[in-house]
Amino acid sequence: MTTVGAPLRIVIADDQASVREGLVLLLGALPGIDVVGAAADGKQALALVAEHRPDAILLDLHMPVLGGIETTRRLAAEHPHVAVVILTTYADDESVLGALRAGARSYLTKDADRADIASALQAAAGGLSVLDARVQAALVAAATSAAPAAQAAPSGAVEVPGLPTPPDGLTQREAEILALIAQGLTNPEIAAGLFLSNHTVKTHISRIFAKTGSRDRVAAIGYARRHNIG
Protein backbone atom coordinates (compact mmCIF):
# COMPACT_ATOMS: atom_id res chain seq x y z
CA MET A 1 0.00 0.00 0.00
CA THR A 2 1.19 3.49 -0.81
CA THR A 3 2.61 5.64 1.97
CA VAL A 4 0.32 8.44 3.16
CA GLY A 5 1.06 11.56 1.12
CA ALA A 6 3.13 9.70 -1.48
CA PRO A 7 1.88 9.50 -5.07
CA LEU A 8 0.11 6.35 -6.18
CA ARG A 9 2.53 4.37 -8.32
CA ILE A 10 0.81 2.55 -11.19
CA VAL A 11 1.53 0.45 -14.25
CA ILE A 12 -0.71 0.66 -17.32
CA ALA A 13 -1.20 -2.33 -19.64
CA ASP A 14 -3.10 -2.10 -22.93
CA ASP A 15 -2.23 -3.61 -26.30
CA GLN A 16 -3.50 -0.60 -28.27
CA ALA A 17 -0.67 1.91 -28.43
CA SER A 18 -2.97 4.93 -28.81
CA VAL A 19 -5.02 3.93 -25.77
CA ARG A 20 -1.97 3.07 -23.70
CA GLU A 21 -0.15 6.30 -24.52
CA GLY A 22 -3.30 8.32 -23.94
CA LEU A 23 -3.79 6.79 -20.49
CA VAL A 24 -0.17 7.48 -19.60
CA LEU A 25 -0.61 11.14 -20.51
CA LEU A 26 -4.02 11.58 -18.92
CA LEU A 27 -3.30 9.82 -15.64
CA GLY A 28 0.30 10.94 -15.39
CA ALA A 29 -0.87 14.55 -15.50
CA LEU A 30 -3.06 14.09 -12.43
CA PRO A 31 -1.72 15.05 -9.00
CA GLY A 32 -1.09 12.08 -6.76
CA ILE A 33 -0.43 9.56 -9.55
CA ASP A 34 2.94 8.40 -10.82
CA VAL A 35 2.89 6.16 -13.91
CA VAL A 36 6.00 4.01 -13.51
CA GLY A 37 5.54 1.78 -16.56
CA ALA A 38 3.40 0.94 -19.57
CA ALA A 39 3.02 -2.51 -21.12
CA ALA A 40 1.62 -3.79 -24.41
CA ASP A 41 0.70 -7.26 -23.12
CA GLY A 42 0.35 -9.29 -19.96
CA LYS A 43 3.89 -10.68 -20.04
CA GLN A 44 5.36 -7.18 -20.18
CA ALA A 45 2.99 -6.11 -17.41
CA LEU A 46 4.25 -8.86 -15.10
CA ALA A 47 7.85 -7.87 -15.79
CA LEU A 48 7.14 -4.20 -15.05
CA VAL A 49 5.33 -5.04 -11.84
CA ALA A 50 8.24 -7.19 -10.70
CA GLU A 51 10.67 -4.39 -11.55
CA HIS A 52 8.81 -1.38 -10.14
CA ARG A 53 6.52 -2.94 -7.50
CA PRO A 54 3.70 -0.43 -8.04
CA ASP A 55 0.67 0.08 -5.83
CA ALA A 56 -1.80 -0.72 -8.59
CA ILE A 57 -2.05 -1.76 -12.22
CA LEU A 58 -4.60 -0.64 -14.79
CA LEU A 59 -5.09 -3.68 -16.99
CA ASP A 60 -6.86 -4.31 -20.28
CA LEU A 61 -8.70 -7.63 -20.49
CA HIS A 62 -7.96 -8.88 -24.01
CA MET A 63 -4.27 -8.63 -24.87
CA PRO A 64 -1.85 -10.76 -26.91
CA VAL A 65 0.81 -13.08 -25.46
CA LEU A 66 -0.89 -13.16 -22.04
CA GLY A 67 -4.47 -12.03 -21.54
CA GLY A 68 -5.83 -9.91 -18.73
CA ILE A 69 -7.47 -12.69 -16.73
CA GLU A 70 -4.38 -14.91 -16.67
CA THR A 71 -2.22 -11.85 -15.92
CA THR A 72 -4.54 -11.00 -13.03
CA ARG A 73 -4.31 -14.55 -11.73
CA ARG A 74 -0.51 -14.44 -11.76
CA LEU A 75 -0.43 -11.00 -10.17
CA ALA A 76 -2.67 -12.21 -7.37
CA ALA A 77 -0.35 -15.16 -6.75
CA GLU A 78 3.01 -13.44 -7.21
CA HIS A 79 2.30 -9.81 -6.25
CA PRO A 80 -0.74 -9.80 -3.96
CA HIS A 81 0.10 -6.27 -2.76
CA VAL A 82 -0.63 -4.85 -6.23
CA ALA A 83 -4.26 -3.83 -6.71
CA VAL A 84 -5.60 -4.86 -10.12
CA VAL A 85 -8.08 -2.55 -11.83
CA ILE A 86 -9.52 -3.83 -15.11
CA LEU A 87 -10.21 -1.22 -17.81
CA THR A 88 -11.81 -2.77 -20.89
CA THR A 89 -14.56 -2.49 -23.47
CA TYR A 90 -16.10 -5.77 -22.29
CA ALA A 91 -18.85 -5.71 -19.66
CA ASP A 92 -20.38 -9.18 -20.15
CA ASP A 93 -20.87 -11.39 -17.12
CA GLU A 94 -18.25 -13.95 -18.15
CA SER A 95 -15.52 -11.34 -18.53
CA VAL A 96 -16.47 -9.62 -15.28
CA LEU A 97 -16.74 -12.80 -13.23
CA GLY A 98 -13.58 -14.22 -14.75
CA ALA A 99 -11.59 -11.14 -13.84
CA LEU A 100 -12.99 -10.84 -10.32
CA ARG A 101 -12.46 -14.53 -9.61
CA ALA A 102 -8.88 -14.21 -10.85
CA GLY A 103 -8.25 -11.48 -8.28
CA ALA A 104 -9.17 -8.13 -9.86
CA ARG A 105 -10.27 -5.61 -7.27
CA SER A 106 -12.13 -3.21 -9.55
CA TYR A 107 -13.63 -3.32 -13.05
CA LEU A 108 -14.28 -0.32 -15.30
CA THR A 109 -15.28 0.05 -18.93
CA LYS A 110 -13.43 2.37 -21.29
CA ASP A 111 -16.14 5.00 -21.28
CA ALA A 112 -14.99 5.93 -17.76
CA ASP A 113 -13.33 9.35 -17.55
CA ARG A 114 -9.87 9.90 -16.08
CA ALA A 115 -11.26 11.10 -12.75
CA ASP A 116 -13.26 7.88 -12.37
CA ILE A 117 -10.23 5.81 -13.32
CA ALA A 118 -8.00 7.66 -10.87
CA SER A 119 -10.57 7.25 -8.09
CA ALA A 120 -10.88 3.54 -8.81
CA LEU A 121 -7.10 3.11 -8.68
CA GLN A 122 -6.87 4.99 -5.38
CA ALA A 123 -9.76 3.01 -3.91
CA ALA A 124 -8.35 -0.33 -5.08
CA ALA A 125 -4.95 0.48 -3.61
CA GLY A 126 -6.77 1.19 -0.35
CA GLY A 127 -8.48 -2.20 -0.39
CA LEU A 128 -11.85 -1.12 -1.83
CA SER A 129 -13.65 -2.33 -4.96
CA VAL A 130 -15.20 -0.17 -7.66
CA LEU A 131 -17.56 -1.51 -10.34
CA ASP A 132 -19.13 0.80 -12.87
CA ALA A 133 -22.85 0.75 -13.66
CA ARG A 134 -22.64 -1.51 -16.73
CA VAL A 135 -20.58 -4.04 -14.81
CA GLN A 136 -23.03 -4.03 -11.90
CA ALA A 137 -25.90 -4.59 -14.33
CA ALA A 138 -24.10 -7.57 -15.87
CA LEU A 139 -23.51 -9.12 -12.44
CA VAL A 140 -27.12 -8.61 -11.39
CA ALA A 141 -28.32 -10.18 -14.65
CA ALA A 142 -25.97 -13.14 -14.18
CA ALA A 143 -27.12 -13.66 -10.59
CA THR A 144 -30.79 -13.37 -11.56
CA SER A 145 -30.52 -15.91 -14.39
CA ALA A 146 -28.40 -18.30 -12.33
CA ALA A 147 -30.71 -18.43 -9.31
CA PRO A 148 -33.66 -20.25 -10.94
CA ALA A 149 -31.31 -22.69 -12.67
CA ALA A 150 -29.62 -23.52 -9.39
CA GLN A 151 -33.00 -24.29 -7.80
CA ALA A 152 -34.47 -26.27 -10.68
CA ALA A 153 -31.55 -28.09 -12.30
CA PRO A 154 -28.28 -29.85 -11.43
CA SER A 155 -25.06 -27.87 -11.48
CA GLY A 156 -24.04 -27.07 -15.05
CA ALA A 157 -27.42 -28.09 -16.48
CA VAL A 158 -29.49 -26.11 -18.94
CA GLU A 159 -33.17 -25.66 -18.20
CA VAL A 160 -34.46 -27.41 -21.33
CA PRO A 161 -37.20 -30.06 -21.15
CA GLY A 162 -35.74 -33.53 -21.53
CA LEU A 163 -32.14 -32.30 -21.52
CA PRO A 164 -30.59 -32.46 -18.03
CA THR A 165 -27.09 -31.64 -19.28
CA PRO A 166 -25.86 -30.18 -22.59
CA PRO A 167 -24.60 -32.76 -25.12
CA ASP A 168 -21.23 -32.97 -26.86
CA GLY A 169 -19.36 -30.91 -24.30
CA LEU A 170 -21.47 -27.78 -24.72
CA THR A 171 -21.29 -25.45 -21.74
CA GLN A 172 -24.39 -24.03 -20.13
CA ARG A 173 -23.81 -20.67 -21.82
CA GLU A 174 -23.22 -22.28 -25.22
CA ALA A 175 -26.44 -24.29 -24.93
CA GLU A 176 -28.29 -21.13 -23.95
CA ILE A 177 -26.94 -19.28 -27.00
CA LEU A 178 -27.71 -22.24 -29.25
CA ALA A 179 -31.30 -22.18 -28.00
CA LEU A 180 -31.55 -18.50 -28.88
CA ILE A 181 -30.11 -19.18 -32.35
CA ALA A 182 -32.78 -21.85 -32.79
CA GLN A 183 -35.39 -19.25 -31.86
CA GLY A 184 -34.18 -17.08 -34.74
CA LEU A 185 -32.33 -14.38 -32.77
CA THR A 186 -29.48 -12.51 -34.42
CA ASN A 187 -26.06 -12.04 -32.82
CA PRO A 188 -26.82 -8.45 -31.70
CA GLU A 189 -30.14 -9.59 -30.20
CA ILE A 190 -28.41 -12.42 -28.33
CA ALA A 191 -25.70 -10.04 -27.10
CA ALA A 192 -28.26 -7.54 -25.83
CA GLY A 193 -30.41 -10.16 -24.16
CA LEU A 194 -27.51 -11.83 -22.33
CA PHE A 195 -25.49 -8.69 -21.59
CA LEU A 196 -22.62 -9.97 -23.74
CA SER A 197 -20.48 -8.21 -26.31
CA ASN A 198 -20.92 -9.10 -29.99
CA HIS A 199 -17.35 -10.41 -29.95
CA THR A 200 -18.14 -12.77 -27.07
CA VAL A 201 -21.26 -14.05 -28.81
CA LYS A 202 -19.30 -14.72 -32.01
CA THR A 203 -16.68 -16.63 -30.00
CA HIS A 204 -19.37 -18.77 -28.36
CA ILE A 205 -21.00 -19.48 -31.72
CA SER A 206 -17.68 -20.58 -33.22
CA ARG A 207 -17.28 -23.03 -30.34
CA ILE A 208 -20.87 -24.22 -30.75
CA PHE A 209 -20.28 -24.91 -34.45
CA ALA A 210 -17.09 -26.83 -33.65
CA LYS A 211 -18.65 -28.95 -30.91
CA THR A 212 -21.83 -29.73 -32.83
CA GLY A 213 -20.15 -30.23 -36.21
CA SER A 214 -22.25 -27.46 -37.71
CA ARG A 215 -21.02 -25.54 -40.76
CA ASP A 216 -23.54 -22.72 -40.40
CA ARG A 217 -26.57 -21.48 -38.42
CA VAL A 218 -28.97 -23.71 -40.39
CA ALA A 219 -27.01 -26.81 -39.39
CA ALA A 220 -26.79 -25.56 -35.78
CA ILE A 221 -30.56 -25.04 -35.69
CA GLY A 222 -31.04 -28.58 -36.98
CA TYR A 223 -28.74 -29.85 -34.23
CA ALA A 224 -30.65 -27.87 -31.61
CA ARG A 225 -33.97 -29.34 -32.74
CA ARG A 226 -32.61 -32.90 -32.76
CA HIS A 227 -31.42 -32.42 -29.18
CA ASN A 228 -34.48 -30.49 -27.97
CA ILE A 229 -32.53 -27.29 -27.35
CA GLY A 230 -34.56 -24.14 -27.71
Q: Same structural domain for residues 95 and 166?
A: no
Between 9 and 111, where is the model more confident? 9
Task: With respect to residue 3, please indicate whether it lies within any of the assigned structural domains.
Answer: no
Residues 118 and 76 in one domain: yes
Are 230 and 160 within 8 A, CB to CB?
yes
Instruction: Give the torsion through C-alpha atoms of 131, 136, 142, 148, to 10 deg.
Output: 130
Q: In terms of domains, do 130 and 164 share one?
A: no
**125 and 159 co-located in one domain:** no
Number of domains in the chain: 2
Q: Is 87 left (phi over 0), alpha (psi -120 to 50) or beta?
A: beta
Exposure of 50 in the CB half-sphere (CA atoms within 13 A):
10
For residues 132 and 158, membership in a common domain is answered with no
Q: What is the pLDDT of residue 146?
A: 53
Cβ-proximal residues to 142 (8 Å cutoff; 6+ apart), any chain: 93, 96, 97, 195
CATH of the domain at 203: 1.10.10.10
197 neighbors 187 (Cβ within 8 angstroms): no
Residue 64 lies in a domain: yes
Q: Is residue 145 part of a domain?
A: no
pLDDT digits (tens, 9 = 90+) for 131-145: 887 777 767 666 665
Q: Encode pLDDT of 97-109 as tens digits.
A: 888 889 999 999 8
**Looking at residue 79, which CATH number applies to its domain?**
3.40.50.2300
Domain that holds residue 160: 153-226
106 and 194 in one domain?
no
